[in-house]
Amino acid sequence: MITVLYLTDAERAIWRMLSQEAQEGWTIEPENGNFRDSPQRREMRLHLLKLRDPKLLDFQEKAKKANTMEALTALILTMDLKNVNDADVAELFFAIGPGPIGRVVESILATVTKDEDIEGVAALTLIRRSLYQAMTPT
């Protein structure tokens, strides 16, 4: 079980609004990644995706048409990734990039009610952290 959440300042503010009971048992680490993406780069990554899952192929086409970060975030929030191949999911997250994943984290974090929800958020923050590390030049 993942028990560490890598949260930005804004996400930590949301976290502090959760009940003490909800926060119990979780470790919060700061997320300081600052990869500067652009719509053009994200569009190119989405174009180069090689997916096999029909649900993700449909998502890919819709994501290419999402003109704003808000539109892409809303689309991501409708996704059901259950039973989707892990390799496809990893490639999808790489194409989406850390920015929209952060928006999803904020949205879900504001509505969590149980540990399973928080574990999902923790997984997303770990994925985002990995993307920051992969996409930021050293």
Residue 67 domain flag: yes
The pairing of strands 27-30 and 4-7 is: parallel
Residue at 23 is within a domain: yes
What's the half-sphere exposure (Cβ side, CA atoms, 13 Å) at 76?
A: 24
In a domain, 88, yes or no: yes
User: What's the average model confidence in pLDDT over 17-28?
Assistant: 96
The total number of structural domains in the chain stands at 2
30 and 38 in contact (C-beta within 8 Å)?
no
Q: What was the pLDDT predicted at 137?
A: 79
- Residues 48, 26 share a domain: no
Per the model's pLDDT, the better-predicted residue between 118 and 39 turns out to be: 118
Please indicate, yes or no, whether residues 44 and 91 belong to a single structural domain of this protein: yes
Closest CA to 45 of 63, 27, 62, 70: 63
Same-domain status, 17 and 44: no
Average pLDDT, integer, range 34-58: 89
C-alpha 81/C-alpha 104 separation (Å) is 14
103 inside domain = no
Q: What is the mean pLDDT of residues 114-122?
A: 95
For residue 26, what pLDDT band results from cuts at 50, 70 and 90?
Answer: very high
- Structure confidence at residue 64 (pLDDT): 87
- Asked if residue 91 and residue 53 are part of one domain, the reply reads yes
**Percent over 70 (pLDDT), the chain:** 100
Residue range(s) defining the domain that contains residue 82: 38-96
Q: Is 101 inside a domain boundary?
A: no
pLDDT of residue 20: 94
Model confidence pLDDT, tens digit, residues 55-102? 899 999 999 888 888 899 999 999 988 889 889 999 999 999 999 999
Q: What is the pLDDT of residue 82?
A: 86
Q: Does residue 29 register a pLDDT over 90?
A: yes
**Cβ within 8 Å of residue 70, ≥6 positions away:** 103
Which token pair is 83? 């039973």
Q: How many CB atoms lie within 10 A of CB 1?
A: 7
